[in-house]
Structure 1
């Protein structure tokens, strides 16, 4: 066998070995079929082998191992929307408590009322006739209410009361010192006027330093005590005098 024949045989054996190795590769049957089809259609030659090599390479690349799944990035979890803060019930401010108004208790009632006539000078005197009263146990700060109560004028029954606030729970005051008392007692014909006097203790809305007519800015606060009353007093305008009740001269 000559050298040319040996070379041809070696070449064939190499091709056969190569074909066997290709046949063992995955996808080789598909590539072989494509190669045959290419040769049959006339492509042949180096182009057909190149196409075979591409198909084999492609098959090897695709099937050489398991495909690796692409890394999937999980969607970002949005931060939870904070729930709106619902204000709790508003506790109302406590209503201020108005302290109760304490009405002063009724002070101790006077237990003594007396009259003293002082004729002094003049035809009949009696300008300095006084009344005195006492209220043992009366609290400090109470005053006295003196009521001058009309009974009759010139023998005719009349009625009316003029009240005065006098400082102190006990004391003495001249009847002529009570503001406006003579105008209140006077009779148009100058005849005698009979009247009564009552004394009671009370709290006043305004402090006083001298006898004043009760009313206006000076009023009674709370409940006054019960009154101690004496009648039989007389006033005579012409004689300009005050007379005490009988038996108390």
Structure 2
């Protein structure tokens, strides 16, 4: 079955542009012109990914993201203007997986969507089969099922958060620079910032801290990140 993409933007021209590009690439699409309609459409259609504009009237994309994240781990790709850097960072901290800056190329959006979906689809599962049984201390990962757990308690992580954790767990003694994590997640040359990686790591730490996992990700000052002891102590 073709994967369904929900496109949320108050500009009908942008929606039409993305519908044409995505359906040409083999996806099915549905549309929403505002945040309230997006939440209703997401509940009705269960999309595989949401393309979400940040700057919308009545209910902006950040609030839509917050509400979606309270109920679902559906991947979210933000559309944002060049002057909305703070909102982009907030969106990542709320659980969005990636963003594209306007004006954008429809081919770029399609490529970003494909990259996100591959990490949760059958191709991603096959690629990660050698990582089966990853874990350390009280942390365990199921790469095929995209499940992270602490002491047997499953946590809800976004696609990107899980990808970072899996990369660290696959090489627990290695210190990953931010650029190395970007390359591992997206492929070399992907247009994403160090600040975005930091936001995802903060999210990971916060989620694990809520269940006692204060030492899941360790920072090496001036270098990057590596997997912590995962015993429940301070990071």
**TM norm structure 2:** 0.19
Task: Compare the two structures and name the one with the higher helix fraction.
Answer: 2
Higher RCO (C-alpha 8 Å, min separation 6): 1
**TM norm structure 1:** 0.19
Task: Compare the two structures and name the one with the higher strand fraction.
Answer: 1
